[in-house]
Amino acid sequence: MSTYDETTLARVALTWLAEPGTRSVYALVDELGPVAALDLLLDGGAPQEELRDSVAARRQAGDARAIAAEALERGERLGARVIVPDDDEWPASVEQLRTLVLEDARRRVDRETAPPLCFWVRGPLPLAETLDRSVAVVGARAATPYGLHVARDLGYGLADRDWTVVSGGAFGIDAAAHRGALSAGGRTVAVLACGVDRPYPMGNTALFDRIADSGLLVSEWPPEAEPLRPRFLIRNRVIAAGTKGTVLVEAAARSGATQTTRRALALHKPAMVVPGPVTSAMSVGTHEFLREEPDARLVTGLAQVLEEVGRIGELAPVPRGPQRPTDLIDDDARAIVEVMPRRGTIGVDDLAGRAGLAVRTVLRKLSLLEELALVVRRGDGYALVTAPGARRAAHPDGVAGGGTRP
């Protein structure tokens, strides 16, 4: 028999009566507490007509408290636990959803973005601690090989740097990110739109089992809850709020993954986008997101993601080409190298004339170039060093200044 207290049972019952995220229900719980809020709704006292009608319809399917008790017993048999805001495991970051306001929120799923009332969790890790240093990696189900490669690399790299990888457990980008993290022996969390005992999609059953063994499966819905289409959009707010930032890898023109990333932006969290080929249908959504959202950041790899979410400013290295010896010299010395002949020697006076520099300047710079092994003195003149690769380093196109191109 379940040992959960009346408050936890009430929160589970309320989640059954109304879909998670319903602001009017959350407001009642905030004002009255979960037990009194449940009593009020079951007595037909909801302040909004729409909520009263919804609760009345749900009550036709059964007794809310009895259904919640059955769910709690089923969860115990499954090895799942219920986490509520008073628990140490409760992730404080999801409370940011209290203030989430989305512009032009015409759909119900865009208006009903309140914090969760409870979480169902399977796995050995503490939820709050696991999410405290986490990044969401989301994207298309019908991902391309390019997208899968990027998502796996990001998942592996983040986990290898002791970050938790969070995603939704779907085919495509989600699964690739989870698998990357598991390959690194790191932590990963799948936030589901159904019960934690109901793997969806079924093709990822083995993946969910691996996550439950070493990471976490998380849901707002009780065991056996179905993966209804609206629930995927409802759970996306939790992915955005529970993590330090969201990376969008691939997305078609209409994609739930872009919705997750927009919620991250609305919560003032890093919203990162990986660009793709302009010819790919799976990158249309990512590119449009970058065009429409000036606060979104383009990222091309792990280092740039860490720079966006790192607590102490883990700066990504600036991409650079290979360093050449001529990178170490100033403009005058570079001008001398450029005008030296490809073959043979040249005198100081001739060099000065070609470079347009004073003789004393040429002599001073030639000493520097000798130290860098770019030129060598031969008799009464100077020549470019002919060691393997040296001429190419001095002249990237393989042609020294002052000579004739072959």
Q: What is the CATH number of the domain that holds 340?
A: 1.10.10.10
**Quick check: 93 pLDDT over 60?**
yes
Same domain assignment for residues 209 and 259: yes
Say if residues 126 and 89 touch (Cβ distance below 8 Å).
Answer: yes
85 domain-assigned: yes
Of the three residues 28, 55, 72, the one that is the final residue of a domain is 72
Q: How many domains does the chain have?
A: 3
Residue 395: band (very low, low, confident or very high) from pLDDT cuts 50, 70, 90: very low
- How far does the chain reach from its first CA to its final CA, in angstroms? 89
**Residue 310 banded pLDDT, cuts 50, 70, 90:** confident
Percent of the chain residues topping a pLDDT of 70: 90
- Going from the C-alpha of 106 to that of each of 27, 28, 34, 112, 228, the distances in angstroms are 21, 23, 28, 11, 20
Confidence of residue 404 (pLDDT cuts 50, 70, 90): very low
292 sits in the region (left: phi over 0; alpha: psi -120 to 50; else beta) called: alpha
The two structure tokens encoding residue 333:
């010395």
The string of pLDDT tens digits covering residues 127-183 is 999 999 999 999 999 999 999 999 999 999 999 999 999 999 999 999 999 999 999
pLDDT for residue 390: 40
Mean pLDDT lowest among 4-8, 218-222, 243-247, 296-300: 4-8
What is this structure's pTM? 0.81
The answer for 196, left when phi > 0, alpha when psi is -120 to 50, beta otherwise, is: alpha
Residues 296 and 243 reside in one and the same domain: yes
Residue 41 covered by a domain: yes
Residues 64 and 125 in one domain: no
Can you tell me the distance from the alpha carbon of 346 to that of 335, in angstroms, rounded to the nearest whole number? Answer: 14
Q: What is the pLDDT of residue 388?
A: 43
What is the structure's pLDDT at 311? 59
pLDDT over threshold 50, residue 235: yes
Q: Where are the beta strands (DSSP E) in 143-261?
A: 164-167, 188-191, 216-219, 246-248
Residue type, 90: W
Same domain, 52 and 171: no
Segment 178-209, tens digit of pLDDT: 999 999 999 999 999 999 999 899 999 999 99
Mean pLDDT of the chain: 90
Judge whether 225 and 194 are in contact, CB under 8 Å. Answer: yes
Please count the other Cβ atoms lying within 10 Å of the Cβ belonging to residue 153.
Answer: 15
Model confidence pLDDT, tens digit, residues 367-388: 888 888 899 998 889 999 874 4
Peptide linkage before 201 cis (omega within 30 of 0):
yes
What pLDDT score was predicted for residue 274? 98
Give 35-54 pLDDT, tens digit per residue: 999 999 999 999 899 999 99
pLDDT at 301 over 90: yes
Same domain for 181 and 329?
no
